[in-house]
Amino acid sequence: MADKKNLIEVKNLKKYFEIKRGILGNKKSYVKAVDDISFAINKGETLGLVGESGCGKTTIGRTIIKLYEPTGGQIIYDDKDIAKLSPKHVLPYRRKMQMIFQDPYASLDARMTVGDIIGESIDIHKLMSGKERTERIHFLLSKVGLNKDHASRYPHEFSGGQRQRIGIARSLAVEPEFIVCDEPISALDVSIQAQVVNMLEDLQEDLGLTYLFIAHDLSMVKHISTRIGVMYLGKMVELGYSNELYKKPLHPYTQALLSAIPVPDPDISSANQRIMLDGEIPSPIDPPPGCRFKGRCKYSKAICSEVEPPLKDLGDNHCVACHLY
């Protein structure tokens, strides 16, 4: 999976959250939100990451940019392992790695002007001040389709789509190389989702950005992603180039996700059978051995309960974790 164009490589990444159980709260358990995952992101590409709520995709994004401390594994950014760096030493990397948050209402401080929201990280990294700072804020507003008059206004004066544009301008303020886009369009009206995706693509081309684009279904990531990773209960179950993954999904879970995408043509739609998944998602606290999808998989066999399937490259960088292959 790795090659020399990588900007980021994640090796055996784990993020466990400790929880207390028992009547006295004296038993420790761990939610294994991200459990031994490896992948790379090439410079200038968009890696889409999909899966149901709670599968660990947002935790991966937050761990890569060190909003969460990893429990184990490596995060190699430009040939340097940043997984164990202290907050002081990670600061230069924070500038290179930014995040666009899902909720454009909750992620902007209602008491700050738009100019101060965008300028905050410029101040934290001591990049510029005075007239230069103001001009940078005006430039960033124009980059996301807003104008300099908006700098003195407050978030409540804007629509959801405009707020997400402000969030994008904020993420660009410190000239990052890599942006985690955490479901940036799922809280927006369908009519403006495409505008925001197109804008992210234009910015990527213009500024040479690399994205990790997180979404909960495959229809949202198809347009923007170079490659797509599918996650299930803390594990990567399939990873491949977008066209290949849509044309020939291998993992039974990916096949079910793709079958749920509505098709606008009624002839094709009636020919495509939706795959309904029965069974419960197991708990991420001490998940059972073997394949984590086995309780919902119609192809499950004896080995699936005993041996965890490794993520195998079947050629052309199409990787799958399933005993059928």
| Residue ranges that bind ligand SF4, judged by CB under 6 A | 252, 291, 293-294, 297, 299-300, 304, 309, 322-324
Minimum CB distance to ligand SF4, residue 291 (Å): 3
Distance CA 197, CA 200 (A): 5
Minimum CB distance to ligand SF4, residue 65 (Å): 30
Instruction: Supply the DSSP symbol for 208.
Output: T
Minimum CB distance to ligand SF4, residue 117 (Å): 44
Three-state DSSP at 4 gives coil
Nearer to ligand SF4 among residue 160 and residue 282 (C-beta): 282
Nearer to ligand SF4 among residue 52 and residue 175 (C-beta): 52
Three-state DSSP at 62 gives helix
List of residues 6+ apart from 64 with CB closer than 8 A? 8, 10, 13, 75, 97, 180, 212
Nearer to ligand SF4 among residue 257 and residue 322 (C-beta): 322
Distance CA 325, CA 320 (A): 8
Alpha-helical runs (H) found in 262-310: 266-271, 302-306
Nearer to ligand SF4 among residue 32 and residue 165 (C-beta): 32
Minimum CB distance to ligand SF4, residue 238 (Å): 10
Nearer to ligand SF4 among residue 197 and residue 304 (C-beta): 304
Amino acid letter for position 179: I
Distance CA 235, CA 233 (A): 6
Minimum CB distance to ligand SF4, residue 59 (Å): 22
Nearer to ligand SF4 among residue 208 and residue 289 (C-beta): 289
As a three-state string, the secondary structure of 231-248 is: EECCEEEEEEEHHHHHHC
Alpha-helical runs (H) found in 72-231: 87-96, 114-124, 130-143, 160-172, 190-207, 218-221
Minimum CB distance to ligand SF4, residue 300 (Å): 4
Distance CA 78, CA 88 (A): 18
Minimum CB distance to ligand SF4, residue 51 (Å): 14
Nearer to ligand SF4 among residue 106 and residue 324 (C-beta): 324
